[in-house]
Amino acid sequence: MTTPGAYENRRLLHTRLNVLRVGATIGVGILVVVFWVLQIVEHARYYDIAENQHVRTIALRAPRGVLFDREGRVLVENQYSFTISVVRELSPNPDHNVDETLHRLALVTGIDEARARDEVKRHKREALFRPIPLISHATMAQVSAVLARKLEMQEVVVQQEPARVYPLGGLGAHLFGYVGEIQDAEIDRPDFAGLPAGSVVGQSGVERTYNGLLMGQDGRREVAVNSAGREISEMGEEDPVDGNRLQLTIDYDLQRAVDDAFKSKNFAGGAMLMDPNTGDVLAMTSQPEFDPNDFATGVDRSKWLALLNDPMRPLQDRLLQGRFSPGSTFKIVMALAALDAGIITPDFKVTCNGSIDLYNHIYHCDRKEGHGTLDLRHALEQSCDVYFYQLASMIKIDTIRDYAEKMGLVGKTGIDLPNEVENIIPSTEWKLRAKGEKWYAGETISVGIGQGPVEVTPVSLAVMISEVATGGNRITPHVVKAVDDGQGWVPTTVTPPKMIFPIRPDVLEPVRDGLWMAVNAEGTGVAARVAGHDVMGKTGTAQVISIQGAKIAAKAGMNVHDNSWFVFYAPREHPEIAGVVFAEHADWGATGAAPIARFALETYFAKKEGRPRPALSVTADGAMVVR
Amino acid sequence: MIERRLLPHLDWLLVGALLALTALGLATIYSVFRANPGTQFWTQAYAVGLGVVALVVCLFVDYRALAERSLFLYGGLLLTLLYVAFFGVVHQGARRWLPSIGGFSLQPSEFARIALALVLAMYFGESRRSARSTGELLVAAAFLAGLFVLIIRQPDLGTAITLVPVFLGIVFLAGLPMRWLGVALVALVLSSPIIFWYGLRDYQRQRIVTAIDPWQDPLHTGYQQIQAKVTVGSGGLFGKGFESSTQGTYQFLPAAHNDFVFSVFAEEHGFVGVLGALGLYLFVIVRSFEAAKLAKDRVGAFLVTGIVSGFGFQVLYNITMSAGLAPVKGITLPLMSYGGSSLVATLVGFGLILNVRMRRFTN
């Protein structure tokens, strides 16, 4: 078997086999390096990519906290909103055609079949397992119709998500506010920090101020998805945490009464009731209202624009976002200032002949024939302008401002609702800053009756009258009483009442006499009289524009009627309730605003004393009757 | 009949390494399909059984007897491939399979490496022949070309290319002058731009480009390479664990059970697992070269070298590709990839290698 050259052949064979073996070993060695680089050096980067592409997080929306009134009645809640969608993959047809099903769906739910078909067509290119929403915020009738015919429409599914519901509709709309998806412009706001796009947040009212408490914490479900995005398996679930429940200071019955009274008169304006001792707001309404439910279900653009451009401005909360001339309600501040500063005594008398000449200008009284000779009490009772023109000519504007500040009319009240505007109370310094001019003494005259450059929010007048009720105790109005984070109700911390201006009895009592007489004697506020109760009050009628301007505007068809005010509290001793009614273009405070206050007070006392609550009716001539 | 005295000479270590790699492949295939179990795992398990039987059968027959009939075997395979070319089953645009028998459709081209190795081993086995003469080289090349052309026309470039290392391995061992090898290499390097621009189709060119930089086209041609890297890289040192693949199971990596089975293995068992598997493959290759060295005749040495050259090329290319560093080509990873014909053919090949080593002392 050994032939010549066989040995060489064998050597060559071995050498070349060794070459091949070494080559293979080097190849494997290179692969080891390659895998070391990928798996050790660059591991973190590739791991992140792998995780990100196979884990999908689905947000489980947390229901917002429920709002209750002070007696535990539900004011704002959540409802699971149903979305009816079609999932083509579930179709028994081999080509996933759902036309037949859409036809049936349209029949049982009343939706437009052609539109549903377009919607499906629009999503044609998406993955088959992805639900195509056809009816959002479906009604219970639609949902049950679909569920009952599940067998005929296998590809139709019903999904649910919590949505905000305002069972009272427009009642208290400005107070509660509304919710909506976070806007691009808002994403930088500190209280919305860290919220993902698409979060539903409070946009106004309590919903906005207390958004952080109400929102709760969205949960999430993590699912593994494959490369087509289909869910393969559940990886983990974190339940959503419900938002905190809030108990408002609001009394639903009073809220309803104020609202009904306002609506029966068909006025724009606002009204507010509160406890003058604590600042608890018992009712507040702003008219015209809007329906916050429209926003909760995603307001459509035309509706939104209509609300925004409505000349009646239904979105504005007039109580704290509107600023108006206080008219004669300001006379309370004038009287307190003149007495406390020692400029007059209560017995200081002025004779009213229907007008007065001051600084070479004739100022007219409301009553053309004049009030005759009046002291302070009667001047308040009958709201005599000439008396207060006279007072204004005797007091410096800066003194008036000091007392307005003491009565809570400078700055903001600090109510726990968003976008409160600041009052304008003139002073020499203010005029210099705002107009660059000095204050002329003649300008003080119209300030004396709450005209001129005096503009206040209704809510600040409620604070002012509360201070009269308590003798100088400053309260901060607030609408939330307690919070429940799931562990039980905890009272919210509110700014406690503070004695800002301890009003001397010899100053306070004459003013109170005047307010009592205005309602209970022969004054301007008799429309607010409640039998058996000492209601204290002051009307106000504020010109919207000058007399000449009014004539021009009236020709243009604009509403130039005066604004009507009524500020009040009751009873005289140990006051329990105070408030303000502001009715736009309602003319006289005596006939416009005071009856609304009366109905609210009647309701309050009836409820307190366990009597049947009064009913409201409006006569043919528009007068409001309380039975 | 297998003689009892041969059994002690059976290379049990090599058998163990082969079975271990087969088991790793089977486990990885099982893991890939754990989310939606289909028939793949059991088909592969069935093929493993079939392959082991085929391997044992190959031990029974003396390899010399096979080599002597290698021309018939080669001719038979050529005819089968011709039959496939006309009557084969088309699947995903390629005509590669014989009509299925009992649910198992055979891919004859997988056996081409063995037939080529047998016929070339026989051809150069006679001591007077060597790869030094042009005429004999041309004859050998003709054997290669016959199979190559039929397979590449299926089309199946991947499988056809695996014939080349079988040919090269044997002619190298048969004494191919080194300068010829050098000339061939230089010629290849010089002609590669011409082949690249004129010899390849657009999609083939694109595959080569994306192999170098997959991020040029991350959603289409580069997708598989990127996902292969992500799959391997996300495994880290110890891997995500058995049945924990996300890349393969959730179908981010296409062909995770066949061409890219090693990527998923690396994802689940990490760098540590990769070292183990590469070690096993290297052991199989080195042990086979040892069998070639020990072979008692040239035929045995050439046969072993031809088979292991094809095997080694497939292993190195496929694993490089599974790390996202080579153009995606249908070159499976022998022993681990899904595919019955490939597995059976590979085990038949190793049956012959074991055969050669086992009979090193016989006459």
Q: What is the pLDDT of residues A287-316, one digit of tens each?
A: 999 999 888 766 667 888 888 888 888 999
Q: Out of A199-203, A579-583, B94-98, B155-159, pick the least confident.
A: B94-98
The predicted structure's pLDDT at residue A312: 84
| A231-238: strand order across its sheet | A55-60, A219-225, A231-238
With CA atoms as reference, the chain B residue closest to A48 would be B234
User: What is the C-alpha to C-alpha distance for residues A595 and A614, in angstroms, rounded to an integer?
Assistant: 13
Assess whether pLDDT exceeds 70 at residue A188.
yes
Nearest to A506 by CA among A541, A471, A538, A540: A471
The verdict on pTM exceeding 0.90 is: no
Distance CA A260, CA A257 (A): 5
Domain membership of residue B116 (yes or no) is yes
Tell me whether residue B172 is in a domain.
Answer: yes
Name every chain B residue with its beta carbon within 8 A of the beta carbon of A15: none
- Amino acid residing at B192: S
- Rounded to whole angstroms, how far apart are CA atoms A116 and A99? 9
Nearest CB neighbour to A42, from listed B233, B237, B309 = B233
Among candidate residues B158, B163, B159, B111, the one with its CA nearest the CA of residue B140: B163
Q: Do B271 and A27 touch (CB under 8 A)?
A: no
Q: What's the pLDDT at B180?
A: 85
Helix (H, G, I), strand (E, B) or coil at A220: strand
Judged by a CB distance cut-off of 8 A, whether residue B284 touches chain A is: no
Q: Distance between CA A310 and CA A287 in Å, rounded?
A: 13
- Quick one: tokens of A5? 């050259």
- What are the residues whose beta carbons fall under 8 Å from the beta carbon of B233, sequence distance 6 or more? A38, A39, A42, A43, A45, A46, A47, A50
Q: Average pLDDT over chain A, rounded to whole?
A: 87
- Nearest CA to B300 among B260, B246, B358? B358
According to DSSP, the β-strands at A245-248 and A67-68 are parallel
Identify which of A441, A233, A405, A253 has the alpha carbon closest to the alpha carbon of residue A333. Answer: A405
Chain A: closest CA distance from residue B236 (Å): 4
Is pLDDT above 90 for A348? yes
A252-288+316-626 CATH: 3.40.710.10
> How many domains are there within chain B?
1
What average pLDDT does the segment B110-118 reach?
Answer: 94
Is the per-residue pLDDT at A622 higher than 70? no
Interacting residues of A281 by C-beta distance below 8 A, sequence separation 6+: A249, A250, A272, A273, A274, A415, A477, A478, A479
Give the separation between CA A324 and CA A50, rounded to whole angstroms.
63
Name which of A325-329, B184-188, B196-200 the model is least confident about. B196-200
Tokens in use for A72?
A: 């535990």
Query: Closest partner residue to A27 among B172, B247, B316, by Cβ?
Result: B316
Q: Within a domain: residue B99?
A: no
Domain with CATH 3.40.710.10 in chain A: 252-288+316-626
Q: Per residue in B283-292, pLDDT tens?
A: 999 999 999 9
| CB burial of residue A573 (10 Å; 0-12, 13-18, 19+) | exposed
What's the pLDDT score for residue A624? 67
Taking 60 as the threshold, does the pLDDT of residue A550 lie above it?
no
Least CB–CB distance from A20: residue in B267, B274, B309: B309
pLDDT for the residue numbered B89 = 82
Nearest CA among A36, A35, A227 for reference residue B246: A227
**Minimum Cα–Cα distance from B253: chain A residue:** A227
**Residues A277, A481: Cα–Cα separation, whole Å:** 14
Local structure of A255: helix, strand or coil: helix
Domain boundaries for CATH 3.90.1310.10 within chain A: 58-248
Where in the sequence is the domain holding B34, given as residue range(s)?
Answer: 4-88+109-358
Residue B54: closest CA among B22, B28, B13: B22
User: Which of residues A160 and A269 earns the better pLDDT score?
Assistant: A269
Distance from CA of B299 to the nearest CA of A (A): 12
**What is the three-state SS of A102-133?**
HHHHHHHHCCCHHHHHHHHHHCCCCCCCCCEE
Best probe of the B interface among A1, A41, A46, by most B CBs < 10 A, is A46
Q: What are the pLDDT digits (tens) for A70-116?
A: 999 999 999 888 888 888 877 877 788 888 889 989 988 888 898 88
Contacts of B325 in chain A (CB under 8 A): 34
State residue A5's pLDDT score: 60
Chain A: nearest CA to B79, how far in angstroms?
A: 33
pLDDT at A1: 41
Task: Report yes or no on B363 lying in a domain.
Answer: no
Spatial CA neighbour of A285 closest among A139, A458, A534: A458
* Chain A touched by B177 (CB under 8 Å): no
Q: Does residue B343 sit within a domain?
A: yes
Give ∠ CA A43-A49-A54 in degrees, rounded to 5: 125
**By the 8 A CB rule, do A340 and A333 touch?**
no
pLDDT tens, position by position, B13-43: 999 999 999 999 999 999 988 877 778 898 8
**Who has greater pLDDT, A474 or A145?**
A474
CB atoms < 10 A from the CB of B166, how many? 28
C-beta separation of A206 from A417 below 8 A = yes
Contact flag B278-A28 (C-beta cutoff 8 Å) = yes
The residue assigned the tokens 């914490």 is A217
Q: Do A38 and B232 touch (CB under 8 A)?
A: yes
Q: Which residues of A touch B305 (CB under 8 A)?
A: 17, 20
- State the average pLDDT over residues B128-152: 86
**What is the domain class of A58-248 according to CATH?**
alpha beta
Mean pLDDT of A232-240: 78
Please check the confidence at residue A57 and state whether its pLDDT lies above 80. no
pLDDT at A627 over 90: no
Q: Answer whether B306 touches A (CB < 8 Å).
A: no
Q: pLDDT tens across A488-512, in order? A: 999 998 888 999 899 999 999 999 9
What residues of chain A lie within 8 A of the CB of B250, using their CB?
A: 54, 224-227, 232
Q: Which residues of B touch A235 (CB under 8 A)?
A: none
Residues of chain B with Cβ-Cβ distance to A226 below 8 Å are: 35, 249-252
Burial A518-537 (b: 16+ CB within 10 A, else e): bbbbebbbbbbbbeebbbbb
